[in-house]
Amino acid sequence: MDRREWLGALGTLGAVPVCGTVADASAMADHAGKGEGPMSAPHFHFCGIHMAKNNPKLQFVTQHYCAAHIGGAEGDVFQCTLFDGTGKNARLIGVEYLISDEAYRKLPDNEKKYWHAHTYEVLGGGLIAPEMTPEDEMKFMKVVIKTWGKAWHTWPDPKTAIPTGEPLLIWSLMADGQADPKVVEQRDKEFKTDTEKVSAARVKAFGLAKPNVALPKDVNTIGRQWTDDGKDEPKPKKP
């Protein structure tokens, strides 16, 4: 999928409220025609589990509110603001940029160390869009699985009264057993979902085995999409 197809697919789904309510969607639609600012049009809202690259034990349920943005010669960018919840007083904890695999491949290695793959987040069930129909969510995941993200949490500890401390570079969970069970349980309970069942359904739908990539050795580790070594490509799901 090239960049135009990538943005087109996301744009097609952009009118669908994700993790929101009918009232939220109505208000967003009303606002969309009243200005041309960066958040004036309907935008995505999806939920994932983030992990600090320098401390994989530090994990967060993170809400993504994203709007498409067309870049320049370096490629197109999908940009997201990150919150610690879905309520009106949720803390703005960071930002994330998503780019296509095509754009990622052109980056130098000293830049690639900031970008994480989304393959396991999709196939492992870590990324969900609860308010989408199952059909639309699957279309969405087929786009996201091919992207890379660069995320920073600028409010590293949402329990503090103000955002203190150095920003955290975020990494993605890339294999079974890496997610904190308590964080997964918290997210599943909040959105009435079951990560294991979501994962099983996606593995079956994609026909691919889940990635198995080790936790980063240090902050300079360059991410991989599927395997620790050898050719970094997917493997078919075993019967």
| Averaged confidence pLDDT in the chain | 86
- Domain assignment of residue 235, yes or no: no
Give domain status of residue 225, yes or no: no
Share of the chain above pLDDT 90, in %: 71
In a domain, 110, yes or no: yes
Q: Place 183 in a pLDDT band, splitting at 50, 70 and 90.
A: very high
Residue 172: predicted pLDDT: 97
- Total domains present in the chain: 1
pLDDT classification of 76: cutoffs 50, 70, 90: confident
pLDDT by residue (tens digit) across 128-142? Answer: 997 788 899 999 999
The 10s digit of each residue's pLDDT in 190-210 is 999 999 999 999 999 999 999
Is residue 92 in a domain? yes
Asked if residue 183 lies in contact with residue 59, where contact means CB atoms within 8 angstroms, the answer is: yes
Q: Which residue has the higher pLDDT, 20 or 52?
A: 52
Percent of the chain with pLDDT over 70: 82
pLDDT tens digits, one per residue of 150-171: 999 999 999 999 999 999 999 9
Helices 134-144 & 3-13 angle (0-180, nearest 10): 150
In a domain, 148, yes or no: yes
- Which residue, among 129, 98, 144, has the nearest Cα to 17 in the 3D structure? 129
- Any domain includes 194: yes
Whether 223 maps to a domain, the answer reads no
- How far apart CA 175 and CA 213 sit, in angstroms, is 6
Instruction: Say yes or no to pLDDT of 236 above 50.
Output: yes
Q: Give how far Cα 216 sits from Cα of 69, 171, 178, 213, Å.
A: 30, 8, 11, 9
pLDDT number for residue 130: 78
Structural domain contains residue 228: no
Host domain of residue 156? 3-29+39-206
184 falls in which pLDDT band (50, 70, 90)? very high
> Residue type for 34, please?
K
